[in-house]
């Protein structure tokens, strides 16, 4: 095999045929070979490998040079900016939180008067109707007080009857004395001196006394009538207390606990703070689903907002709406309590169950949005980096709206179709010229939208 020199080409001369192959500045001077001569196996392999390597290197250099020529020297100096386009899309904030079912109403029923349980008609699990008697108390002294109040009313009524009779008698006496006094006065006027002055004075005095007796009788009658009102009020008071000896259901519901049995002494609930209730009643035909909303989202919850409810215990899924909220934060948990009314006529749901709630608390039907990574919210004023039509970077303040996991709504500062830098915002400066390139974030969001 011939020698190898730097900076020339390799000559292959099989049977007088010259083949020039440039190989990266190397020179192969192989001399002249006879096709009939058999070159060694090693020499032939080396020649083939060097020939193939020469073509590969020349091809790579040609492609690289062509790429640099197409790109141009200006593109090499511009940084590549990942961009996203501001587009309009529906946005909504969804809160996923666990809620607890509570009875719509629940009360512990106490006795308003002290007494012994005479009969108790219900037990736990019994369904009752409004007005149904649940238990009765034995209060003997209250029965006596009711009877005394009834007697007082009857006595006052009799006194009123007597007072009315006194009024009639006084009016009759007055009429008689008044007529006699008038007749004497007319006779004296017709014939002066006929009637003695003393007699006239006595007749007028009796007239005035009779009139005063009428007024007195009427006053006594009025006092008796007022006394009747007092007696009737006492009667109503004790009758009402007697009614409290019967404990009734204030609404339709189910007995969830029973605290007393027949013969138990029950203290009056109004006079003893530690008095024992008789039963506990809960309304379960409709339940309250109570959920805590964090402070950051409490201001966006409105009555009527839709929610999706999933009860893990029963596997049920249904939709509901926000019925009410506390409109204030719990200082211990910094949450606002929100309630959803859930019908439960079939009784499948029980108070104390938990449910997973997805609450749509804020929604925009056609919001101008960009990826979350495209907005810098580290300072007091959020801003974006806009790539204009000349591919120059512009810093622009914006007003943000609804934020989701991937996108954020822009209320002011940006127009539909404008390009913003969607990643590595700290590496770009306003006024800098960049080469726009669609970001991976924008591509992912486009895939989700489809």
In this prediction, residue 193 carries a pLDDT of: 74
Residue 272's pLDDT band (cuts 50, 70, 90): low
Per residue in 89-106, pLDDT tens?
A: 888 778 889 999 999 999
% of the chain with per-residue pLDDT over 90: 41
What is the value of pTM for the model shown?
Answer: 0.56
For residues 256-273, give the mean pLDDT.
Answer: 84
Q: Distance between CA 61 and CA 83 in Å, rounded?
A: 33
What is the Cα–Cα distance from 28 to 49, expressed in whole angstroms? 13
Check whether 121 has a pLDDT greater than 50: yes
Does residue 201 carry a pLDDT above 50?
A: yes
Residue 10: pLDDT above 50? Answer: no
Q: Is the pLDDT of residue 59 over 50?
A: no
Q: Is residue 15's pLDDT more than 70? A: no
Cβ contact 323:390 at 8 Å: no
Tell me: the pLDDT tens digits for 381-434? 999 999 999 999 999 999 988 877 788 889 899 999 999 999 888 899 999 999
For residue 70, what pLDDT is reported? 36
pLDDT (0 to 100) of residue 26: 40
Q: Which of 345, 342, 380, 433 is nearest to 99 (CA)?
A: 342
Check residue 75 and give its pLDDT. 52
Tell me what pLDDT residue 387 has: 94
Please report the pLDDT score of residue 12 as a whole number.
Answer: 42
| More confident of the two residues 381 and 194 | 381
Query: In which residue are the tokens 């512009």 written?
Result: 394
Instruction: Give the pLDDT confidence score for residue 445 in this predicted structure.
Output: 58
CA atoms lying within 13 Å on the CB side of residue 169: 9
Report residue 342's pLDDT band, with 50, 70 and 90 as the boundaries.
very high
Could you tell me which CATH class the domain 81-91+365-449 is placed in?
mainly beta
Average pLDDT for residues 48-72, to the nearest whole number? 42
Sign of CA dihedral 75, 77, 81, 87: negative
Q: Which CATH number fits domain 282-363: 1.20.950.20, 3.20.20.70, 2.60.120.200, 2.40.30.170?
A: 2.40.30.170
pLDDT tens string 203-219: 889 888 989 999 999 99
- Asked if pLDDT for residue 307 goes beyond 70, the answer is yes
Distance between CA 333 and CA 97 in Å, rounded? 14
Of 340, 335, 281, 332, the closest CA to residue 101 belongs to 340
pLDDT of residue 271: 60
Chain-centre distance of CA 167, in angstroms? 70
């Amino acid at each position: 095999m011939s020698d190898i020199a730097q900076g020339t080409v390799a000559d292959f001369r099989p049977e007088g045929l010259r083949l020039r192959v440039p190989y990266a500045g190397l020179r192969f001077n192989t001399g002249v070979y006879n096709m009939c001569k058999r070159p060694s196996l090693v020499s032939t392999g080396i020649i083939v490998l060097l020939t193939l390597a020469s073509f590969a290197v020349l091809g790579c250099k040609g492609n690289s040079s062509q790429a640099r020529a197409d790109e141009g020297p200006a593109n090499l100096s511009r940084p590549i900016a990942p961009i996203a386009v501001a587009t309009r899309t529906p946005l909504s904030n969804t809160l996923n939180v666990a809620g607890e079912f509570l009875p719509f109403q629940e009360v512990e029923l106490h006795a308003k008067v002290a007494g012994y349980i005479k009969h108790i008609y219900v037990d736990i699990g019994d369904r009752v109707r409004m007005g149904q008697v649940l238990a009765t108390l034995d209060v003997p002294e209250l029965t006596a007080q009711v009877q005394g109040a009834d007697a007082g009313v009857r006595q006052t009524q009799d006194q009123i009857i007597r007072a009315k009779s006194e009024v009639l008698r006084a009016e009759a006496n007055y009429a008689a004395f008044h007529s006699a006094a008038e007749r004497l006065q007319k006779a004296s006027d017709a014939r002066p001196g006929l009637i003695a002055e003393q007699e006239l004075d006595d007749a007028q005095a009796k007239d005035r006394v009779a009139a005063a007796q009428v007024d007195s009788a009427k006053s006594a009658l009025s006092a008796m009538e007022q006394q009747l009102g007092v007696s009737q009020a006492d009667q109503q008071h004790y009758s009402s207390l007697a009614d409290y000896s019967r404990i009734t259901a204030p609404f339709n519901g189910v007995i969830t606990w029973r605290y007393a049995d027949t013969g138990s002494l029950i203290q009056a609930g109004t006079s003893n703070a530690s008095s024992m209730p008789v039963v506990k009643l809960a309304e379960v035909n409709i339940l309250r689903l109570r959920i805590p909303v964090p402070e950051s989202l409490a201001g966006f919850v409105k009555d009527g907002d839709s929610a999706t409810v999933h009860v893990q215990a029963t596997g049920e899924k249904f939709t509901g709406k926000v019925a009410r909220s506390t409109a204030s934060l719990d200082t211990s948990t910094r949450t606002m309590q929100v309630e959803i009314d859930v019908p439960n006529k079939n009784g499948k749901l029980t108070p104390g169950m938990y449910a997973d709630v997805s609450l749509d608390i804020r929604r925009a039907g056609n919001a101008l949005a960009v990826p979350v990574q495209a907005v810098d919210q580290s300072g007091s004023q959020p801003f974006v980096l806009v790539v204009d039509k000349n591919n120059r970077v512009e810093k622009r303040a914006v007003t943000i709206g609804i934020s989701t996991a991937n996108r954020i709504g822009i209320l002011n500062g940006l127009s539909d179709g404008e390009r913003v830098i969607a990643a590595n915002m700290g590496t770009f400066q306003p006024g800098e010229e960049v080469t726009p390139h669609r970001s991976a974030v924008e591509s992912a969001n486009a895939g989700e939208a489809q």
